[in-house]
A = this chain, B = another copy of it.
Amino acid sequence: MNIILSRDSQVRVMEDTVTNAEKSFGQFCSLLAAYTRKTARLRDKADQLVKQLISFANTENPEMRATLRNFAEDLAKVQDYRQAEVERLETKVVNPLKLYGVQIKQTRAEIKKFKSVRNNEIKQLEKLEKLRQKSPSDRQTISQAETSVQRASVDASRTSHQLEETVDTFQKQKLKDIQKIFLDFVTIEMVFHAKAVEVYSSAFQTLESYDLEKDLENQRWKISPTQSLWTIRAYHHHLGA
């Protein structure tokens, strides 16, 4: 029974490979989906910050107003890039991981098929054993059973090779896919971060070149000389001077 045991352990290794891949890809899928969602939440908060900056800018002096509006625009630009990041993560990372279930199902079906062929081989062998013990002189029946065993064995061997190929292809595809999915992840992140550096550099310039003195000249509550004179005159009039 050693070839059968060997095939059993072979199948077990294959099943483990598929089960492990299914579990791992499922976990990667939900983790990366969560990572994408958290990124979207961060974008939402930054979008609120953009709105708040614009509404605050409107209450400020001209220089600060212009500075904050430009800064808000840059911050909004980063969020547009973050939105692109979110969409690309969904399309190129999360979805391929989701669709992985299909490939895993096909490989499982192949393994199941092989198991049933192998079970037939075992059944034929057991039948032959019984015949040899029960009627060792019935050459013709034994010969027929031997033919059945050989046929089942050839079947099992062929299916075993098919299965090997299927799992080989599966494993090869899996390794390629892991490489591709994480390369895509890294590329998407890299592009986003590079864009963010670019935009924040411009935002830094904007904020740094803010002209405080110009705004201070325009303080709204400074009593203008005209207003002063007018109010002083009014005061004297009031006092009856």
1/0 contact string of A33-65 vs chain B (CB within 8 Å): 011001101100110110010001001110010
List B contacts of A194 (CB < 8 A): 193, 197
Which of the residues B1, B52, B200, B201 comes within 8 Å of A238, measured between beta carbons? Answer: B1
Q: Interface range on chain A: under 10, 10 to 19, 20 to 34, or 35 or more?
A: 35 or more
- Determine the distance from Cα of A228 to Cα of B125 in the docked complex, in whole angstroms: 19
B35, A52: Cβ atoms under 8 Å? Answer: no
CB closest residue in chain B, given A184: B207
Number of copies: 2
A24 at the interface (CB under 8 A from B): yes
A203, B221: Cβ atoms under 8 Å? Answer: no
1/0 contact string of A215-241 vs chain B (CB within 8 Å): 110011111000100111011001100
Binds B, one of A98-106, A112-120, A170-178: A170-178
Q: Chain B nearest CB: distance from A88 CB in Å? A: 14
A149 at the interface (CB under 8 A from B): yes
- Determine the distance from Cα of A196 to Cα of B194 in the docked complex, in whole angstroms: 8
B186, A190: Cβ atoms under 8 Å? Answer: no
Max chain B C-beta neighbours (<10 A), residue from A64, A221, A230, A231: A221
List B contacts of A219 (CB < 8 A): 168, 171
B3, A32: Cβ atoms under 8 Å? Answer: no
List B contacts of A222 (CB < 8 A): 164
1/0 contact string of A65-93 vs chain B (CB within 8 Å): 00110010000000000000000000000
Q: A45-B34, A172-B212, A210-B179 are in contact. Are A200 and B193 (CB under 8 A)?
A: yes
Q: Chain B nearest CB: distance from A82 CB in Å? A: 11
B64, A212: Cβ atoms under 8 Å? Answer: no
Identify 27 residue pairs between A and B in the complex whose beta-carbon atoms are under 8 Å apart, listed by A's number.
Answer: A1-B238, A3-B232, A6-B223, A13-B221, A14-B221, A35-B45, A38-B42, A39-B42, A42-B42, A64-B178, A67-B179, A68-B178, A164-B223, A168-B216, A168-B219, A172-B216, A179-B207, A179-B210, A182-B207, A183-B208, A186-B200, A186-B203, A187-B204, A189-B200, A190-B196, A190-B204, A194-B197
